[in-house]
A and B are shown apart, each in its own frame.
Chain A
Amino acid sequence: MKKAWIVLLLLLNGCQIRTLNPHSQVAGDQAMLIYLSFAIMIVVMAVVFVLLIRFAWKYKQTAKNKDDVPEEINSNKRLEIMWTLFPVLLLAILAVPTVVVTYHVSPESRNGTDNAAANEAAIHIQVTAERYDWTFTYENGKQSNRLVLPVGEQAILHLQSEDVIHSFWVPELGGKQDVIPGKEILFEVTPDKTGTFLGKCAEFCGVNHALMRFDTDVLQEKAYRNWLQEE
């Protein structure tokens, strides 16, 4: 129980923790789901822990009862139905937002509908993963190993791999997306706050997987334009 308190404190202090410090709508939804599932699970854990401690303590063997043969009570319909339906209820509460958010954030691959790919209003960036570097190619042809995005504008990242499977992950901007050779996957993000974050490859890809990192800057519109024009 003491440990649960430590987590709770850390969570209240959540801005320390990267996945709970969202800078986009998607990451925000995901953080909400993390909090929600955590809260529901705390309820489950509390019930089990309390029962466990109570039963182990109350029915422990003592000098008095050590030769007793307890009465057999081997089923109790009411209780059994309760602990079947109670989890169903909790899971239903969890399932609804899960389905909604999952439908919203699951990306489609290029061969699906081309809506996103053809979206003219958005910024399109080609992202190439090759052991152990990331290359970002912007619409004006500029190439960089930094991901730079303007705040408040929709960006569509075209993820491609030159070799093995990698995974694109900036915790503050949302969950990860695998980058799979022979396929282009679109990752949409609209950052809603500025900041600088460490991005990482999250799928094991070989010797220097641990070093396959990149920096991400979310800048104001004007700073972004300036950066694009820089050599």
Chain B
Amino acid sequence: MTLPIWDNVLYMPGDVIAAWIMMLLVGPILLLWLSKTKKWPLVWEYMRTTNHRKIGSMYVLFGFLFFLRGGIDALLMRTQLAVPENNFWVFQGDKYNEVFSTHGTMMIFFAAMPLLIGLMNIAVPLQIGARDMAFPFLNAVSFWMFLAGGMLFNMAFFLDSSPNAGWTAYTPLSTDTYTQTEGNDYYLFALQVSGLGTTLTAVNMIVTILRHRAPGMKWNRMPLFPWATLVTSLLILVAFPVLTIALFLLMFERLFDTSFFSGEAGNPVYWQHLFWIFGHPEVYILALPAFGIFSDVISTFSRKKVFGYTAMVLSLCLIGFLGFMVWAHHMFTVGLGPMANTFFAITTMLIAIPTGIKVFNWLFTMRNGVVRFTVPMLFALAFIPTFVMGGVTGVMLSVAAADMQFHDTHFVVAHFHYTIIGSTILGVFAGIYYWYPKITGKLLDRRLGIWHLGLFITGFHLTFFLMHITGLNGMPRRTYTYQWGENLFAFNFISTIGAFLMGAGMAVFIWNIIRTRQSGDHAGADPWQGRTLEWLVSSPAPEHPFTKQPVVDQRDAFWYAKQAGRRMAAGTDSRPAPIAGKTIQPLCIGAILWLLSLSMIYQWWILAVLSGVLVLVMFLLRTWRDERINTIGKEGTADE
């Protein structure tokens, strides 16, 4: 659609206009609702909070909104692919490319990651008996950096400059020689800002777990979700800086005409190495926390300790370690030579072993137990077969010579959705149902939960199972159309129906949230017969849980204390708790970084320098402030 504005003619595609109209309708309604229900003090409270549960809830909320956004993109793609030679709305050519690039980036960085980090924020401190994250201020900074990146990334669409080089942004396509619009600059800066936030979160998680465990919680008494969080954080700490560097190089390439990835000295394949050295660990960053959630869920609802605890922890570590040695399995068709191809094929196969150990341990946790079919447990039961199917196609892909057929087809699309949705997304939903009482004080409705799972998982298998076949039958990924007579129609059509079933499942989930808000059951502190420390504190988790940290004398100590009919002893020697505060600075840092990115994208150098200096000054000032000096005495005595 073209709009004449003064003398210029502005071209705007129909979907962007539709989105603007939606925004202009929904925005005011939202603001009005906030005023009507007197929610502004609450919003102001959350804008300044440093509390782990509140920050975690905001991560989950925005992660979920971005998940919906990415989901709408998915439905648009599936509609365009429903029939051969389709011309649905505007989604052909570059428009389709923008949609899948946005979908992939959005889902990985702005939906899956924050949803997991949100659950970690909510549950991990409680599970280890800590009173908050080690660095509450830093935690808020991380969150606002993530949101600044997410907002930047979403803005690109409204200005009709979405990135269009895929979530992998392969050079030379992603350099300014071949994609001139600002789209990929938005990609660069959005990932850069939110990626820094993620790295800081990893530091925070590691320190929290190292330093703030309850007395007596030795390494071999820690629940598996904190363990998974620890290993994941270490992976983030190694992998994300590689992404940061890669993004910086590409930024120089796009904005300042360097030639790292082109010309005589450069090489486009360097980008692929950098990206996948980050990218493969990233998929384990997404999977391991979900493994942790399921380990806790399966153990709780089988009323047993997790089977093979030591093997579980070791295989987490082993998966994390091997995850750094397999990146070139994404590059079997680049022509790295027979030596590299076989090496990376074998290392990739090796990962299947610790993963298999975990699967069998989950299964044997259920054996001889009392298995309760609660909603989180049903998600776990759906997770095991789904994830195993993704795992076995992973082994098939690791067969380097065969991967030359699979690579870059819908077979791969099927594989990674089986693993990511199978583990991360099902894990996140299991976690939300499981910890909802700790977040809001209420239990989500069981019947609606079952509908949610049923629709989602049926739709999921319909959508993605058939993609294995279309892929084998020659359908490359990232293509917006295919021809009649290619034998692809029926599969794609069913696949599209499946996608809409998944959408229906999500609608049920949203309905469940609304219903529960209005009339849900209030949950006590321990609605699930829990085993770990988060069920010791009231629901929702109070701002200052554990005024005295409990003493942990064995794994699942809370459960055995309940069995013996005693209360957990309170510890005496406790470290000073991290100090909560109310401060607007983290939000300001996020906002300035957002401005900085925007001025870099549009090359407003003066504004860029100003905001750069400002954000640096804010960090430096913060470095000199230490509220512990003033407060420790006071809080310290209050704690004893």
Contact = CB atoms under 8 A, between A and B. Distances in A.
B448 interface: no
Contacts of A201: 476
Given A16-B487, A95-B346, A102-B342, A174 B404 contact: yes
A68 B370 contact: yes
Nearest to B349: A91
A198 B479 CA distance: 15
A92 to B, nearest CB: 9
A45 to B, nearest CB: 6
Contacts of A45: 385, 388-389, 392
Given A56-B381, A181-B172, A204-B166, A87 B352 contact: yes
A205 interface: yes
Interface in B307-327: 307-311
A48 B487 CA distance: 32
Contact of A109 (B335, B363, B395): B335
A3 B345 contact: no
Nearest to A60: B371
B504 interface: no
Contacts of A7: 468-469
Contacts of A210: 96, 476, 478-482
Give the one of B341, B404, B465 with max A CB within 10 A.
B404
Given A72-B305, A98-B400, A176-B405, A55 B363 contact: yes
A60 B399 contact: no
A45 B465 CA distance: 15
A202 B337 CA distance: 19
B476 A169 contact: yes
Interface string B363-381: 1101111111100000001
B363 A178 contact: no
A19 B268 contact: no
Contacts of A5: none
Interface stretch (B125-133, B242-250, B354-362, B419-427): B354-362
B108 interface: no
Contacts of B563: 69
A81 B590 CA distance: 50
A180 B405 contact: no
Contact of B334 (A103, A175, A178): A178
A108 B356 CA distance: 35
B173 interface: yes
A19 B309 CA distance: 43
Contacts of B512: none
Given A18-B474, A52-B385, A59-B370, A84 B353 contact: yes
Contacts of A20: 472
Interface in B384-420: 384-385, 388-389, 392-393, 395-396, 398-405, 407-409
B473 A79 contact: no
Interface in A91-113: 91, 94-95, 98-99, 101-109, 112
B480 A98 contact: no
Contacts of B465: 3
Bin chain A's interface residue count.
35 or more
Contacts of A29: 401
A143 interface: no
Nearest to B346: A95
Interface string A48-76: 11011001100111000110111111111
A34 interface: yes
A16 B357 CA distance: 37
Nearest to B469: A10
A223 interface: no
Interface stretch (A114-122, A134-142, A149-157, A159-167): A159-167
A70 B404 contact: no
Contacts of A80: 308, 311, 357, 360
Interface string B144-182: 000000000000000000000110001011000011000
Given A17-B472, A176-B333, A34 B405 contact: yes
A177 B94 CA distance: 24
B363 A175 contact: no
Given A37-B395, A70-B369, A103 B338 contact: yes
A61 B373 contact: yes
A178 B479 CA distance: 17
Nearest to B310: A75
A19 B412 CA distance: 14
A33 B407 contact: no
Nearest to B404: A175
B170 A204 contact: yes
Nearest to B366: A55
A51 B93 contact: no
A91 B352 contact: yes
Contacts of A195: none
Contact of B472 (A19, A167, A180, A211): A19
B573 to A, nearest CB: 30
B48 interface: no
A202 B407 contact: yes
Give the one of A17, A30, A102 with max B CB within 10 A.
A102
A185 B474 contact: no
B399 A16 contact: no
B400 A102 contact: yes
Given A44-B388, A106-B337, A180-B269, A33 B401 contact: yes
Nearest to B394: A41
Interface string A29-43: 111011001101100
A165 B173 contact: yes
A33 B402 contact: yes
A37 B337 contact: no
Contact of B372 (A31, A41, A61, A79): A61
Contacts of A165: 170, 172-173, 268
A158 interface: no
B87 to A, nearest CB: 13
A130 interface: no
Interface string A194-231: 00001011111111111100000000000000000000
A171 interface: yes
A43 B501 CA distance: 30
Nearest to A22: B405
Contacts of A171: 405, 474
Given A59-B302, A70-B303, A19 B367 contact: no
B304 A3 contact: no
Contacts of A200: 474, 476
Contacts of B480: 210
Interface in B189-238: none
B93 A87 contact: no
A182 B407 CA distance: 22
10 contacts: A44-B392, A48-B384, A51-B360, A55-B371, A61-B372, A69-B303, A73-B368, A164-B172, A176-B333, A176-B404
Interface of A: 3, 7, 10, 16-20, 27, 29-31, 33-34, 37-38, 40-41, 44-45, 48-49, 51-52, 55-56, 59-61, 65-66, 68-76, 79-80, 83-84, 87-88, 91, 94-95, 98-99, 101-109, 112, 163-165, 167, 169, 171, 174-178, 180-182, 185, 198, 200-211
Given A37-B396, A164-B268, A176-B404, 18 more contacts: A3-B461, A19-B472, A19-B473, A33-B402, A41-B392, A52-B384, A59-B371, A71-B368, A73-B367, A80-B360, A91-B350, A98-B400, A99-B342, A106-B337, A180-B268, A204-B165, A204-B408, A208-B93
Closest 10 CB pairs of A and B: A175-B404, A210-B479, A41-B392, A106-B338, A33-B402, A101-B401, A204-B478, A102-B400, A18-B474, A55-B366
